[in-house]
Amino acid sequence: MLKKPMLEIRNLHVKVNDQEILNGVDLKVNAGEVHSIMGPNGSGKSTLAQVLAGRDTYEVTEGEIIYQGKNLLEIKPEERACMGIFMAFQYPVEILGVNNTYLLRTALNAQRKFRGLEPMKPVEFAKLLKEKAKIVQMSDDLLQRSVNEGFSGGEKKRNEIFQMAVLEPTLGILDETDSGLDIDALKIVANGVNAMRSKERAFIVITHYQRLLNYIVPDYVHVLVDGKIVKSGGKELAFELESKGYTWIEEEDRTAIPANA
């Protein structure tokens, strides 16, 4: 018997301000897998991430998303988070006066409560923070500052991965986490993600460039063009894209017979 995928997206159509951004995305993600979604600017990569996280500015007009056997589209964003969906934001927001550590403790305990667990004891939490901070080289200073306030671009992205490490999600979605990172920061972020890879956990890594995939090696690569996945393959697809560019796919796509014709 085939095991059920953790996440299954079927024929997903999404509109923003009456403009169709996604038109018929299909994707299956099993536990333990890393899927990379690549594509040119404006192809709908970030929209897909936002819809998975539950952002309400996007209107789903057709299709469905099944996560852990449940209809995800009927579930509030905070409950999705509690069910183990984590999104590392492309543009993490600043929240003045809210201590980074305080946010994490509140979030972790909210998630634990949802799962019927007691709040984590302060000592235990401090230990957890220390351990996870090491993975992405977060300094004490960054932990104690207001959420993302005055953080550099790289620090903000590292903070996202750090939060992910503490919250230990089942499905991690990285929305262009590599954009704006220098090579050292990129390695730190990738190490953080790699340290979390496991049989129970899956990742969707959205990126514009193949560069990140040298460090986070995906099991599958999907190419999103004009709101549709036009090509899927193994990691070698990423290299091919890097050398030939997206136009290669677009041309190929135009000449190919539609899969569902």
Q: Contact positions toward another protein, by CB under 8 A?
A: 53-57, 75-78, 80-82, 86-87, 89, 92-93, 95-98, 103-104, 106-108, 110-111, 114, 146, 163, 167
Please state the closest distance from residue 157 (CB atom) to another protein, in A. 14
**Whose Cβ is closer to another protein: residue 110's or residue 217's?**
110
Please state the closest distance from residue 7 (CB atom) to another protein, in A. 16
List all residues 6 or more positions away from 251 whose beta carbon is below 8 Å from its beta carbon.
none
Please tell me the distance from the alpha carbon of residue 240 to that of residue 32, in angstroms, as a whole number.
25
**Whose Cβ is closer to another protein: residue 95's or residue 126's?**
95
Please state the closest distance from residue 37 (CB atom) to another protein, in A. 18
**Whose Cβ is closer to another protein: residue 7's or residue 223's?**
7
φ and ψ at residue 195, rounded to 5 degrees: -65, -25
Please state the closest distance from residue 118 (CB atom) to another protein, in A. 16
- 3-state SS track over 106-155: HHHHHHHHHCCCCCCCHHHHHHHHHHHHHHCCCCHHHHHCEECCCCCHHH
Please tell me the distance from the alpha carbon of residue 221 to that of residue 224, in angstroms, as a whole number.
10
- 3-state SS track over 187-208: HHHHHHHHHHCCCCCEEEEEEC
**Whose Cβ is closer to another protein: residue 120's or residue 167's?**
167
φ and ψ at residue 125, rounded to 5 degrees: -65, -40
Write down how long the chain is: 261
**Whose Cβ is closer to another protein: residue 57's or residue 255's?**
57
Please state the closest distance from residue 117 (CB atom) to another protein, in A. 12
18 sits in the region (left: phi over 0; alpha: psi -120 to 50; else beta) called left
Per the CB < 8 A criterion, the answer to whether 234 and 215 are in contact is no
**Whose Cβ is closer to another protein: residue 102's or residue 239's?**
102
Please state the closest distance from residue 126 (CB atom) to another protein, in A. 19
